[in-house]
Chain A
Amino acid sequence: MSDREPKRGLRWEVLLHRARDPVFVLDRRHRLLYVNQAWEARTGISLDQVRGLVCRHPRSPGPEATDDDLLAHLLTAPADAVRGQFARVRRIHHPRNTPGALRSWWDIEFFPLQLTGHATGVLIVGKVLPQAIESLDPGQSLPERLENLGTQYRTRFGFDLLASQHSGMQRIRQQARLAAEVQVPVLLVGEAGTGKKTLARIIHQGSAARERPLATLDCRKTPPGLLLSLLFDSFDGDEPTLLRGPGSLYLIEPSYLPRDLQYRLVQWLVSQEPRHPVPRLLVGSRTTPEAEVAAGRLLPDLAWRMATLRIDVPPLRHRRDDIPDLICRIIGGASPQPRITPEAVAALQVYTWPENLAELREVLRAVRRRTPEQIDLPELPRRIRDAWRIDQDPARPAPPSLILEDVLQQVERRLVQLALDRARGNRSRAAELLGLHRSRLLRRLEALGMEEGPDETD
């Protein structure tokens, strides 16, 4: 980039030099007189390199055009501007001979400059449009900043995420390392919310296929027609399918695949075409393949082929000692960093977590929305506080409250929830059902701690 400073006395240069968008000035003979810092920063081309360039290229440059020809075409004033009128055009600019330069669309405004009625030049302001898909060549790499997005995302999934005091998780970490080193199908078995998808990402990121993507396919929630299209058809020609493009494919609950697709998947596993890069298969399931085969939902051939290596992921209740570390990991990136009290940690360790890590994440997010700076026992959901209370005194379950205020509050809570359910979350309608003014219902929701969830207004 040029370190050129505008000369003193040339006020228009000083004014234009720091404009956010590229600015150019042509003299009356359409020669390039000035470019500003935004242009130099964008292209690395200084004014000295292009000063005097004649910008009279009305026709699109051919394949033999130089970068100077392309720039001259970009800045060629349209007929209106030549006649002294403001003009705006949209043009594409692709300096083919400049390393790393990409095709981009520009909105260009031409402001004719006049002095005492005589044309003296043209001021040109260029605005580069956001990178759109039309500006990419199919065989071209994406801009570096887009590629960096993918790199930054996938590097989050390292084996350090599996650090644990639980012996079972330590074994899983070793198994995951082994799975990353070998190119065989891997089956991950565990309850919902135990982190199978994250484990699949960790295995993929540790494998030789990490430079290609990990694609996922949830077989439970995908219509059969789309399953067929995603797995075995091509996008509009030769685009990769899920069985050709990615480095790994994570299939969720393959027992939900229609029978004919299961057959085709077995055929694919048996006869993989060597000329195409083939993704490694990772499979996630809540039940064992034996149970699915016994229930008639999974082909035996597919069951044993997808489970060359099997990893059983334990539920959260079997690894309570990991909960403090998991809490830190979940809220670690938060700002401000919330303080969590020892009582809250103890209560979170007592609870059974039927929905595992997913539920823990949801609870922490909900508490942080209410009290961003601290997570304390009273802020936790009632089911967790109740479990904690029972754990503290297992011989004597908490007696039902006889305090009138408590009982009335429970009844009110149930009625309000019933009204909200009938009104599908619409608080105005719920207030009507309860015979209340909307503002009073909102106050009661806040007092009852029920203000979570959006107001589903039409």
Chain B
Amino acid sequence: MRYPQLIVFESDGRLAAQLAPLSTLRGWPLREPHRAESVLSLLETDNPSVVVIRCGRDLERELSLLERVSLEAPAACSILVVDQAHPRLYSLGWQLGASFLLSPRQARDHLIDLVDAHLNITR
């Protein structure tokens, strides 16, 4: 039996706070690792997973993590939430295999529904 999990990688906890009610409602664990290795370790279990990466404070670290998630856990859904608009950053997010790439407005309006739709399918 596999159990869905929600992983949020960010520095200030805002996205996690936005998703916390959903994780409580569905009974999915919400994890907030601060190291890339911890994220990848959680994905080794092959549980259905959504990884939300906030991109804007340390671009190299955040995008390197996205690359590794795409390569080492291709079954996981990766959602890159970009802090502000930058055309090259959008391109790079797609190039590195992000499943979804959201602006702050799209994250505010759709992130909860997106995560719910993705993890609910696997229940």
State whether A452 and B45 are in contact (beta carbons under 8 Å apart), knowing that A136-B86, A150-B96, A235-B85 are contacts in the complex: yes
A213: chain B residues within 8 A (beta carbon)? 91-95
Out of A132, A215, A369, name the residue touching B44 (CB < 8 Å): A369
Partner of A424, one of B3, B58, B64: B3
B35-58 with Cβ < 8 A to chain A: 42, 44-47, 55-58
Contact (Cβ within 8 A) A222 B82? no
**Cβ A149 vs Cβ B63 within 8 A:** yes
**Within the complex, what minimum Cβ distance (angstroms) separates B115 from chain A?**
10
A130-B61, A133-B59, A452-B45 are known contacts. Are A226 and B92 too (CB-CB below 8 A)?
no
Judge if A313 is at the interface, Cβ distance under 8 Å. Answer: no
A127→B121 CA distance, assembly (Å): 46
Cβ contacts under 8 Å, B1 to chain A: 417, 420-421, 425, 453
Given A153-B70, A229-B110, do A130 and B99 touch, yes or no (CB 8 Å)? no
Pick from B2, B47, B59, B70: contact of A131, CB below 8 A.
B59
B6: chain A residues within 8 A (beta carbon) = none
Inter-subunit contact A235/B105 (CB<8 Å): yes
Nearest CB in chain B: distance from A249 CB, A: 9
With most chain A CB atoms within 10 A of its CB, the pick from B57, B59, B95, B97 is B95
Q: Which residues of A contact B90 (CB under 8 A)?
A: 235, 239-240, 245
B83 to chain A, nearest CB (A): 5
**Neighbour of B117 across the interface among A147, A214, A221, CB < 8 A:** A221
Neighbouring A residues of B13 by C-beta, 8 Å: none
Q: Which residue of A lies closest to B75 (CB)?
A: A358
Near B by CB (< 8 A), chain A positions 14-72 give none
What distance in Å separates the Cβ of A224 from its nearest Cβ neighbour in chain B? Answer: 9
Contacting A239 at CB < 8 Å: which of B59, B67, B85? Answer: B85
Instruction: Determine whether the beta carbon of B5 is less than 8 Å from that of A454.
Output: yes
User: What are 21 A-B interface contacts by the 8 Å CB criterion?
Assistant: A131-B60, A133-B56, A133-B59, A133-B89, A140-B88, A142-B59, A142-B92, A146-B60, A153-B71, A153-B96, A197-B74, A223-B110, A223-B113, A223-B117, A225-B113, A235-B90, A452-B45, A454-B5, A454-B45, A454-B47, A456-B3
Q: Give me the interface of A with B, judged by CB distance under 8 Å.
A: 130-134, 136, 138, 140-143, 145-147, 149-150, 152-154, 156, 197, 212-216, 218, 220-223, 225-226, 229-230, 235-237, 239-240, 245-246, 358, 361-362, 365-366, 369, 417, 420-421, 424-425, 452-454, 456
